[in-house]
Amino acid sequence: MIKEKINIPVYVKNDGMCAGLAEKEYGSLKESTNGIFLGIGTGIGTAVFIQGKLVEQIRSAGHMIIERNGKKCGCGKNGCYEAYASMQVLKNNIREYFKDGTLTSEEILEILKNQDNINKVEDIIKEYIEYLAIGISNMSRICSADTIAIGGSFVHYQEILFGRLLDELDRIMIPLEKEQTKVKLAKFDNNAGIIGATLIK
């Protein structure tokens, strides 16, 4: 329909895969052979590159089950990764704790930065990081990834979350996985999808 209106070629691709393409071409997966992009935002976007090529069939890491009898996910299943480890979930958990559904992303960032004397907030972050790390460890092992790039709005919270994530991965991953996989922040944040869309062939 769009093509009919503007009369130039039009392509459609999943946003997580577009973001992954941007990281592979210009960003933190550039040097990688077997690399994974995980876009941690409203949900969890996925792009997997094996031997340098995007594998279209491997998608939706956000919907692998990581919790038995877990929370209902938007996809209809229970216990999906993104029902525990998306940025949206972390933000909603903070909103729930403060009983304030109007807290903006910026206000939540400030709360997380100044959480030292609120034990409950630290507990929320800790639980979130534990779930996030489980999925990263799973993906690392399944795909024998040399690099996993973490992007999406997670990048905006990196100073609070990224160090904790690396510590948790160090705790749960076995030496083989740690040796094999480097976990990095993505180069691009929410613009990655737009940049990657220019690379669709």
CA quadruple 46, 50, 53, 57: dihedral sign = negative
Instruction: Between 75 and 194, name the residue whose CB sits nearer to Zn ion.
Output: 75
Q: What does the chain come to in residues?
A: 201
Among 13-21, 41-49, 69-77, 147-155, which window interacts with Zn ion (CB under 5 A)?
69-77
Asked if 150 and 165 touch (Cβ cutoff 8 Å), the reply is yes
Joined tokens for residue 194: 């737009």
Binding-site member from 18, 73, 129, 169 for Zn ion (CB under 5 A): 73
Binding mask 47-66 toward Zn ion (x if CB under 5 A, else -) reads ----------------x---
Q: Quote the least distance from Cβ 33 to Zn ion, whole Å.
A: 29
Q: Quote the least distance from Cβ 81 to Zn ion, whole Å.
A: 8
Among 44-52, 72-80, 84-92, 125-133, which window interacts with Zn ion (CB under 5 A)?
72-80
**Helices (DSSP H) in the chain: which residue ranges?**
2-6, 15-26, 82-85, 87-97, 105-113, 119-143, 158-172, 175-180, 192-197
80 binds Zn ion (CB under 5 A): yes
Q: Quote the least distance from Cβ 178 to Zn ion, whole Å.
A: 28
Among 75-83, 85-93, 103-111, 143-151, which window interacts with Zn ion (CB under 5 A)?
75-83
Asked if 87 and 81 touch (Cβ cutoff 8 Å), the reply is no
- In sequence order, what are the beta bridge partners of 182? 147
Binding site for Zn ion (CB under 5 A): 63, 73, 75, 77, 80
